[in-house]
Structure 1
């Protein structure tokens, strides 16, 4: 009934749920509307490859959220969230059989790095000390409204900050590290922001990512990534909030500059006398739910040019037993493995090929040994692995290797998966192909079909670019969690600080909303 809810959140991904939790704790009656049959968005787990084999469909690693206060503030551990944080924590495996690992202690990491270059090991010690000194400011920057550019670059060392923030990964690693292997590894960390070695912003992102892995470690969620959203949903329910699934929002009605109702796909209209927060991707919000008539031609034009970034390709394998790495047991024990290298130019070539519409010949592949770390994910004695190709084209024009014919993902995805499995079996995981009992292959089109916000098979709600970050993310008119509609806010990865399981956009948006409403932010 009209007036039953003081806040409505569109989209029950982890950021939408985080925002809803804080609004409910501030005393508002909250409703979360989710178009799919389950909540969680990109923090869902499903039996993709075969029955009994539980894979994280999108997000797998739980990293940056551990730097933010949200998990403790919302008591997610009390709601059943359990983390598995292996040691060693991260690995880079190379075609020659060698591996580099990040241990839970920086000296363990330095020892591993020293096999490639003692100078690089010492450089990492210095970079990590620099991170620890800057950590309070880094966390504060993530968990607050981004400042205007004029403020951000007004400090005494603004010139050096500006250079590093916009420096490419290639420029940074070549001036910082000596060995080609460490240059490859650190540049590959920028791929988690979909940043090529020669893209602006790569240096800063790579440093922060690797340092965060060293600091808090990448965890796997016991029982599947869906337990993140399940814990959030339980906290929301404990404070009177509600979630309605199978309730997609079709449009938002606006009068006199304020949102007054939402219309669902089935025609139901829910009146709004309060605030509306959106966790859907910014373009869908602006053009589909609001419409050009509401936001104006100029703003619509800007959002139409919004850049989505690079597309993912996923292979989920049910195995009859573990497939050990050629590089040794340390790689088998880690939570996440980068597969590729050692040439920095290989990374650059992958992006050049993908951006030209070609299936990359030697992409970097991220591997998660899901059942090896969490035996509950697979039947006893079996194994489950997930491989994510960074990156592939959304629209295919050809194959860089010249072996695969066809250009539509539905026709070629299995052939490309075969090529990637052959490469993995030959160079990195001997015998992998022979252990496969079932598999699921997810192309960019498949990811997009599964969830509307995975536009072009991406997970970021928009690329990380100089003009799509901070106060300008997604565009200035929708920046800092606000929109041109007075009571409509953004709380998803299309806002600062962006993608990843951080809970920061949801928390930050709730803090802004509470401030606008004169409510105490219940941290």
Structure 2
């Protein structure tokens, strides 16, 4: 009988298992899919000569994560690679907002949009340099973040805390208007906010756009050498070196509860895997509480709150094997790992408004990855392994475009939406479609079939909006991984601090389990040594 059973071998589940194994617990991880990784996987499914990331691809949060740093995955062979430029937002007139690897070069580029915008960017980054490390520590600590929160509070006083807090609460459109005279800086902030489901007019979108922009400036948007699956392979290897067990193709169908305590997991094959001390679930909150636990073991208030749980936008993704680099009109886009494809902030607002109205956007904002540019091992020299995703409504009411997309996502609708994304890229890179050697379409329903946590393609396991963050994540409560069932912990991005590949929800859940058995202090001392 293992000390703990972990449901799900996504990054958070694997981080949780590693933290428990470090404390001397025996751990068994059950994964429904035939391979581990959750949304951190890669393959050669588009073309045998091209490595494609199936889901996530760039990892600024992993680069800054103290959780992953403590695991020392370099010892398991993980290496990181960077594109020459972090991120760009080209415009159709050839101008381009560029997030460079060096702050002075980013500032110089923004100065070309408007005089003084370079200084504005440097001022933003100076604030980040003062408070960023403590802010990240506070974010990745179980709520409330007492020690890092106190350190952050002291530094915020020096950095103008109330004014900074106001800036972070602003909609990103307003933040951009206040900080920059030209369009370049505004585009960088707004495009980064839409890495989540935050419209330019959403409260708090300024904070998220600022965070992602500053992470990109300080740490870049790195990728694992060889594909996203290399990150998963390192986590699995580390766990196996500590005698942790991973079983793929084992779907959990229920958490066994006796006397109000989680004591094991029942699989689809009829096996009961007992847990001596804890069960940790790297699953969505609705799946854990409604499907795996059962209403009879849960308070009615939690069940009522779950009725208000909000998913983030659905996602539609296309992978490409390209015979050559993307022929951008803006030459600076050629060296970037990440490209935001939209013709200005008004286009971003229009895109987000259409989704809010349940419409499939007619000119979708595309977040495009140039993976060979970021990691030359991904495809033959002179070619490009690329992808782009866009968002669509969770529930489609109508199509703002001409294709009558309804959300059935049959073959016709998938092809029509993929063509629409390619047409959007073509506006900024004429001749793009002539370089497509092969493509793969991942509709919202396909993404969910490949990873059940991606509900209809929701990549953040619940909205990033303020009403479902911190003490409100996944429902109003403590913002912690503990659940109403003793010995059961929520270890997924549905828990604080939410989406992104950084491992914090898994580590928080593992430490909560250890703390309940008086082992957290011992683990903390071991990590310090």
Q: TM-score, normalised by structure 1?
A: 0.94
Provide the C-alpha distance between the structure 2 equivalents of 1:403 and 1:237, rounded to a whole number of angstroms: 49
Provide the C-alpha distance between the structure 2 equivalents of 1:41 and 1:193, rounded to a whole number of angstroms: 18
**Which residue matches 1:385?**
386
Provide the C-alpha distance between the structure 2 equivalents of 1:253 and 1:271, rounded to a whole number of angstroms: 8
Note if contact 1:394-1:445 (Cα within 8 Å) is conserved in structure 2.
no
Aligned partner of 2:248 among 242, 245, 262: 245
Say if 2:230 is the partner of 1:227: yes
Q: How far has the Cα of 1:407 moved from its partner?
A: 4.9
Provide the C-alpha distance between the structure 2 equivalents of 1:225 and 1:148, rounded to a whole number of angstroms: 30
Aligned partner of 1:302 among 297, 301, 305: 305
Provide the C-alpha distance between the structure 1 equivalents of 2:99 and 2:173, rounded to a whole number of angstroms: 21
Provide the C-alpha distance between the structure 2 equivalents of 1:161 and 1:135, rounded to a whole number of angstroms: 12
- Unaligned 5+ residue runs, structure 2? none
Q: How far has the Cα of 1:352 moved from its partner?
A: 1.3
Note if contact 1:184-1:341 (Cα within 8 Å) is conserved in structure 2.
no
Provide the C-alpha distance between the structure 2 equivalents of 1:257 and 1:474, rounded to a whole number of angstroms: 21
Note if contact 2:188-2:213 (Cα within 8 Å) is conserved in structure 1.
no
Aligned partner of 2:88 among 86, 91, 115: 91
**Which residue matches 1:479?**
479
Q: How far has the Cα of 1:430 moved from its partner?
A: 2.2
Q: Secondary structure at the match of 2:448?
A: helix
**Which residue matches 1:73?**
70
Provide the C-alpha distance between the structure 2 equivalents of 1:231 and 1:148, rounded to a whole number of angstroms: 29
**Which residue matches 1:313?**
316
Q: How far has the Cα of 1:220 moved from its partner?
A: 1.6
Note if contact 1:9-1:277 (Cα within 8 Å) is conserved in structure 2.
yes
Q: How far has the Cα of 1:333 moved from its partner?
A: 1.7
Note if contact 2:121-2:185 (Cα within 8 Å) is conserved in structure 1.
no
Provide the C-alpha distance between the structure 2 equivalents of 1:502 and 1:283, rounded to a whole number of angstroms: 22
RMSD between aligned alpha carbons? Answer: 2.1
Counterparts of 1:188-337 in structure 2 under 5 Å?
188-328=191-331, 330-337=332-339
Between stretches 501-510 and 27-36, larger displacement belongs to 501-510
Aligned partner of 2:79 among 82, 91, 109: 82
**Which residue matches 1:8?**
5
**Which residue matches 2:504?**
504
Provide the C-alpha distance between the structure 1 equivalents of 2:341 and 2:377, rounded to a whole number of angstroms: 25
Change (3 A) 1:93 1:332: same
Aligned partner of 2:51 among 49, 54, 59: 54
Between stretches 480-489 and 363-372, larger displacement belongs to 363-372
**Which residue matches 1:514?**
514
Q: How far has the Cα of 1:323 moved from its partner?
A: 2.6
- C-alpha distance after superposition, 1:309-330 (max 9, x if no partner): 11111111112222332211x3
Provide the C-alpha distance between the structure 2 equivalents of 1:181 and 1:358, rounded to a whole number of angstroms: 28
Note if contact 1:350-1:360 (Cα within 8 Å) is conserved in structure 2.
yes
Q: How far has the Cα of 1:380 moved from its partner?
A: 5.2
**Which residue matches 1:414?**
415
Between stretches 471-480 and 207-216, larger displacement belongs to 471-480
Provide the C-alpha distance between the structure 2 equivalents of 1:58 and 1:266, rounded to a whole number of angstroms: 28
Q: Secondary structure at the match of 1:351?
A: helix
Provide the C-alpha distance between the structure 1 equivalents of 2:116 and 2:164, rounded to a whole number of angstroms: 24
Note if contact 2:68-2:502 (Cα within 8 Å) is conserved in structure 1.
no
Note if contact 1:22-1:507 (Cα within 8 Å) is conserved in structure 2.
yes
**Which residue matches 1:353?**
354
**Which residue matches 2:126?**
129
Number of residues paired by the alignment?
Answer: 515
Counterparts of 1:456-495 in structure 2 under 5 Å?
456-477=456-477, 479-495=479-495
Provide the C-alpha distance between the structure 1 equivalents of 2:257 and 2:403, rounded to a whole number of angstroms: 53
Q: How far has the Cα of 1:405 moved from its partner?
A: 5.7
Q: TM-score, normalised by structure 2?
A: 0.93
Say if 2:144 is the partner of 1:141: no
- Unaligned 5+ residue runs, structure 1? none
Provide the C-alpha distance between the structure 2 equivalents of 1:87 and 1:378, rounded to a whole number of angstroms: 17
- C-alpha distance after superposition, 1:73-98 (max 9, x if no partner): 21211111111112322211111111
Q: How far has the Cα of 1:464 moved from its partner?
A: 1.2
Note if contact 2:85-2:98 (Cα within 8 Å) is conserved in structure 1.
yes
- C-alpha distance after superposition, 1:178-228 (max 9, x if no partner): 113432331121112210011111011111110010001111211110111
Counterparts of 1:22-41 in structure 2 under 5 Å?
22-41=19-38
Q: Secondary structure at the match of 1:463?
A: coil
Between stretches 47-56 and 283-292, larger displacement belongs to 47-56
Note if contact 1:20-1:241 (Cα within 8 Å) is conserved in structure 2.
yes
Provide the C-alpha distance between the structure 1 equivalents of 2:382 and 2:182, rounded to a whole number of angstroms: 39
Provide the C-alpha distance between the structure 2 equivalents of 1:190 and 1:23, rounded to a whole number of angstroms: 34
Note if contact 1:317-1:436 (Cα within 8 Å) is conserved in structure 2.
yes
**Which residue matches 2:99?**
102
Q: How far has the Cα of 1:162 moved from its partner?
A: 5.0
Q: How far has the Cα of 1:372 moved from its partner?
A: 3.1
- C-alpha distance after superposition, 1:314-359 (max 9, x if no partner): 111112222332211x3222211111122x2211111111222222
